[in-house]
A and B are shown apart, each in its own frame.
Chain A
Amino acid sequence: MKLFYDKIKRFFVPFAATLMICFVYGYAQADNCLECHSGWEDDERAPSALFPTDVHSQAGLGCSDCHGGNPDLEDMDDVRRSKGYRGIPGPKEIPAFCATCHSDPNYMIKHNPALATDQFDKYKTSVHGQQLLGKGDIKVANCVSCHSVHDIASPQMPTSTVNALNIPKTCSKCHSDAAYMAGYGIPTDQFDDYVKSVHGHALLDKKDLGAPACNDCHGNHGATPPGITSISAVCGMCHTLISDEFAKSPHKKAFDEMGYPECEGCHSNHLVLEPQLYWVGITDSSLCVNCHSADDGTIALATADKMHNSLQALYNAYDSAETKTDDADTRGMMVTDQRFTLKEVSQAIIKTRTVIHSFNADEVEKTAAPGIQTADKVYQAAVAKIDEYYFRRYGLGIATLIITLLAVMLYFKIRSIEK
């Protein structure tokens, strides 16, 4: 009997321990959702495959934290019947779905205190929000359309669909699709225009994160066109001085009264290109003649002409200074100082192009004048370098003459000695 008891003890204790461990392990294993779903989902873009990379997963959340239900259960029907199960939300339900946590400051403070909690409120003001929640239009963007789902990454991450460098593409998924956007009455060429613009080049080609993406002007959650009266305020966030100059100019009052967009009128909204000199002036291709005429009783075209001439003079001064400097350079003279001073002239050009927005010919002239002076100084310095180049050759000629004469005389002296 004792022997049998011994045998059982030797077998039973490890067995019982194992069983206990399994039970405990089973209880600790709370997320059967991921377990089961990763078992039968084999698409690499399936939720269970993506979720471990998701920022929510990294915050310690599981499937049930969003979708509800009891993660301990194994049978899907049981899960569906369990308390709090929310299943897969439809497009109209998604904003509120996400907002359950993201609009709850008391909840969010436990995971990311710095993250704002007003996204849903803002969304409700946006065109997307009004269409979806007000009119039930499920074609418009909801949270998932931009942020993706199950592989959501923080916007700072390069993989995030809402990273600054990726935003134009994310928005254009819908907004460039003419068939999809049919019936909404808005253009679908914004992305195409943006890519050609200086902002598009800066952001997408040069990776300059200071350049605006769609959300910088339109907002992200409260996405709406800024509106005729407010678009200049948006541009003025970065282009502050230009905005100030424009506000001082006669155009501000006129544009506001006409309901005409301040910056967009001349510079476009999406296809913002490098401004050209001929935009300011009185020729047919200028922008000024679109509204002004020679006999409209204002000094407009006269001013435009003067401003054009000031800027043209500055450009010409820069170009001739640069050409002369290149001239000296190709002759092998050192022109690093001249090139440095030319940068000052570039600064003057930037300043003048800013002051153009005051549409005050005298101001423009005053700003261009120092630049022209500096450019002239560079020109003179380059001319001096070229003169030096010729002086060297001239001096060499004289020295050669002296030496040759001396050599010839020496030769004769030698001859005379040896006679």
Chain B
Amino acid sequence: MSDIDKGKRDFLGWFLKGGIGALMAAVLYPVYKYVIPPASGEANVSQIKLPFKIDELKQDEKKSRIFKFGRDLGIIVVTPNQEAKAFSALCTHLDCTVQYRNDLGIIWCACHNGQYDLEGRNIGGPPPRPLEKYAVHIDDTSGEIFVSKA
């Protein structure tokens, strides 16, 4: 084989190796990124851990907080009996976000004065249905709050 041909062969050989390397990189890069878990963590939302502990919540002036529960908003409330209760925060009238009125001891909707008791039952105003109730579990040692659909 002539030198030129040999040269071509070598060139082709190196180019091929380089090409294969590039292909490996192009394939392995997405795989590498894929394998690293994304920031949002978990997929499913039938149970979540709230980003605050029960003591924080009890010390809150408003004694309640809104949290994100999958695609919905939820509200967690500390009742006068120091019980933690959680409900869907979407008013059953026209979907406004409800709030806890610890002065009145009810869950209240500012849009049209809808009122719910601390079991989620609609007791006044336009809301036609009770609020969906969630189950609350508090870890005694760590104080973490877990909310799940009842």
Chain A interface residues (CB < 8 Å from chain B): 208-211, 237-241, 336, 340, 343, 347, 350, 354, 398-399, 402-403, 405-406, 409-410, 412-413, 416
> Would you call B16 an interface residue if the criterion is a C-beta within 8 Å of the partner chain's C-beta atoms?
yes
* Contact yes or no, B26 A398, CB < 8 A: yes
Contacts of B71 in A (CB 8 A): 336, 340
* Contact yes or no, B126 A210, CB < 8 A: yes
**Contact among B9, B19, B97, B126 for A402, CB-based, below 8 A:** B19
How far is the CB of A277 from the nearest CB of chain B, in Å?
Answer: 19
Contacts of B135 in A (CB 8 A): none
Please name the residue on chain B nearest to A207 by beta carbon.
Answer: B128
How far is the CB of B68 from the nearest CB of chain A, in Å?
Answer: 8
| Bound-complex Cα distance A224 to B144 (A) | 56
Contacts of B127 in A (CB 8 A): 210
Chain B interface residues (CB < 8 Å from chain A): 8-9, 12, 15-16, 19-20, 22-23, 26, 71, 93, 95-97, 110-114, 125-128
| Bound-complex Cα distance A409 to B20 (A) | 10
* Contact yes or no, B97 A409, CB < 8 A: no
**Contact among A209, A403, A406 for B16, CB-based, below 8 A:** A406
| Bound-complex Cα distance A403 to B26 (A) | 9
How far is the CB of B103 from the nearest CB of chain A, in Å?
Answer: 13
How far is the CB of B10 from the nearest CB of chain A, in Å?
Answer: 11
**Contact among A208, A336, A399 for B126, CB-based, below 8 A:** A208
How far is the CB of A357 from the nearest CB of chain B, in Å?
Answer: 13
Q: Is the interface of A mostly helix, strand, loop or mixed?
A: helix
* Contact yes or no, B96 A238, CB < 8 A: no
**Contact among A208, A343, A350 for B111, CB-based, below 8 A:** A350
* Contact yes or no, A238 B126, CB < 8 A: yes
| Bound-complex Cα distance A211 to B128 (A) | 11
* Contact yes or no, B16 A402, CB < 8 A: no
**Contact among A210, A350, A399, A416 for B125, CB-based, below 8 A:** A210
Known interface pairs A340-B71, A406-B20. Does A399 touch B26 (Cβ–Cβ under 8 Å)? Answer: yes
* Contact yes or no, A416 B113, CB < 8 A: no
| Bound-complex Cα distance A268 to B15 (A) | 81
22 contacts between A and B (CB under 8 A): A208-B93, A208-B126, A210-B112, A210-B127, A211-B126, A237-B113, A238-B113, A238-B125, A238-B126, A239-B112, A241-B110, A336-B71, A347-B96, A402-B19, A402-B23, A402-B26, A403-B23, A405-B22, A406-B19, A409-B15, A412-B12, A416-B12
Q: What's the count of A-B pairs with C-beta under 8 Å?
A: 57
Closest 4 CB pairs of A and B: A210-B126, A406-B19, A238-B112, A402-B22
Contacts of A405 in B (CB 8 A): 19, 22
* Contact yes or no, B19 A210, CB < 8 A: no
Please name the residue on chain B nearest to A410 by beta carbon.
Answer: B16
Contacts of A399 in B (CB 8 A): 26
* Contact yes or no, B126 A413, CB < 8 A: no
Contacts of A398 in B (CB 8 A): 26
Known interface pairs A238-B125, A350-B111. Does A409 touch B23 (Cβ–Cβ under 8 Å)? Answer: no
* Contact yes or no, B110 A240, CB < 8 A: yes
| Bound-complex Cα distance A208 to B125 (A) | 12
| Bound-complex Cα distance A416 to B6 (A) | 11
**Contact among B15, B19, B22, B110 for A354, CB-based, below 8 A:** B110
**Contact among B19, B93, B111, B112 for A409, CB-based, below 8 A:** B19
| Bound-complex Cα distance A347 to B109 (A) | 12
**Contact among B16, B23, B97, B128 for A413, CB-based, below 8 A:** B16
| Bound-complex Cα distance A239 to B20 (A) | 70
Q: A238-B125, A416-B8 are in contact. List 7 more A-B contacts (CB 8 A).
A: A208-B93, A210-B112, A238-B113, A239-B112, A240-B110, A347-B96, A406-B16
| Bound-complex Cα distance A340 to B112 (A) | 22
| Bound-complex Cα distance A34 to B121 (A) | 46
How far is the CB of B110 from the nearest CB of chain A, in Å?
Answer: 5
Contacts of B26 in A (CB 8 A): 398-399, 402-403
| Bound-complex Cα distance A410 to B15 (A) | 10
